[in-house]
Amino acid sequence: MTTLPQTTHKKLGLVIDLDTCVGCHACAVNCKEWNTGGYGAPLSDQDASGEASGSWLNRIHMFEVKPGDAPAQVVHFPKSCLHCEDAPCVTVCPTGASYKRVEDGIVLVNESDCIGCGLCAWACPYGAREMDAKEGVMKKCTLCVDRIYNDNIPEEDRVPACVRTCPAGARHFGDLADPDSHVSKLSAERGGFDLMPEQGTKPVNQYLPPRPKDEPAFNLADLAEPTGQKGLLGWLDNALARL
């Protein structure tokens, strides 16, 4: 079995703002594109024109939630490997293919040593491991390790592909071991939280909670009542009068 380092020099990871994410899937698509031609073997698809299945290192889930007496709202929830400090996917690996780097805390898979047994997928409480049916090995988020250290691309592009492509600015990347880093300050200011802390895995990635949505100031149906004017002008007149 693989052992975990007692400590790492950095804790590179993501801070994801659930209040800002709009569920557009741009992060998942760009992750797929970059990793298909980047680190390791390509992320294959099976029957892409039919019932598509394949390896996606970043997936977006959507939930309708109703916190207390507040109005119901839709939360878009991106999920990928959280690069846990106490990563069970590493310690359960029988070949040492899964490992956690000392220099930056990133959890990776040495695909030449992976036998596709799937034990790491069973051990991961977040469902963040992806078996590539074509390659026969386990795939996972690498935080774009082949990108963030790449001196051949512009400095602003040396972040994970999902962070670079997010149109809403919902994804942030940095060193969560540094209390003065942007991601650490953002997490502290917004009450960043671990996903499923009861599992004891100590995930590096943090989530920022969605802000509660206020009750609407008026009922849109009421704006259809005419006040002298008819049609669109009447609706507009009512709307402006209530602002």
State whether 222 and 204 are in the same domain: no
- With bands split at pLDDT 50, 70 and 90, how would you rate the model's confidence at 35? confident
Nearest CA among 214, 213, 233, 215 for reference residue 223: 233
For residues 34 and 132, state if they share a domain: yes
Pair (177, 203) in one structural domain: yes
Q: Count the Cβ atoms, other than its own, within 10 Å of residue 19.
A: 16
Amino acid letter for position 29? V
- Residue 69 resides in a domain: yes
**Are 12 and 175 in contact, with CB atoms under 8 Å apart?**
yes
Tell me which residue range forms the domain holding 224. 218-243
| Cβ-Cβ contacts under 8 Å for 16 (sequence gap 6 or more) | 78, 170, 171, 172, 205, 206, 207, 208
CATH number of the domain to which 128 belongs: 3.30.70.20
Dist CA 215 CA 179 (whole Å): 36
Kindly state whether residue 93 falls inside one of the protein's structural domains: yes
Tens digits of residue pLDDT in 59-116? 999 998 887 777 788 899 999 999 999 999 999 999 999 999 999 999 999 999 999 9
199 in the same domain as 228: no
* Distance in angstroms between the alpha carbons of the first and the last residue of the chain: 64
Q: In this structure, are 57 and 94 located in the same domain?
A: yes
Task: Provide the pLDDT for residue 212.
Answer: 72
* 98-100/107-109 β-pairing: antiparallel
The answer to whether the CB of 95 falls within 8 A of the CB of 113 is yes
Q: Are residues 25 and 125 in the same domain?
A: yes
Shared domain for 242 and 146, answered yes or no, is no
Report how far residue 50's alpha carbon sits from residue 52's, in angstroms, rounded to the nearest whole number: 5
Residue 153: inside a domain: yes
Q: Averaging pLDDT over each range in 34-48, 112-126, 223-237, which range is the top one?
A: 112-126
pLDDT in tens, 4-25: 999 999 999 999 999 999 999 9
In this structure, the answer to whether residues 26 and 100 fall within a common structural domain is yes
Same domain, residue pair 157 and 67: yes
| CB-count exposure of residue 24 (10 Å: 0-12, 13-18, 19+) | middle
- Mapped to the 3 state alphabet, what secondary structure does 75-141 carry? EEEEECCCCCCCCHHHHCCCCCCEEECCCCCCEEECCCCCCCCCHHHHHCCCCCCEEECCCCEEECC
Overall number of domains in the chain: 2
pTM: 0.83
Q: Which amino acid, 233?
A: L
pLDDT in tens, 124-153: 999 999 999 888 999 999 999 999 999 999
Residues facing residue 53 across a β-bridge: 46
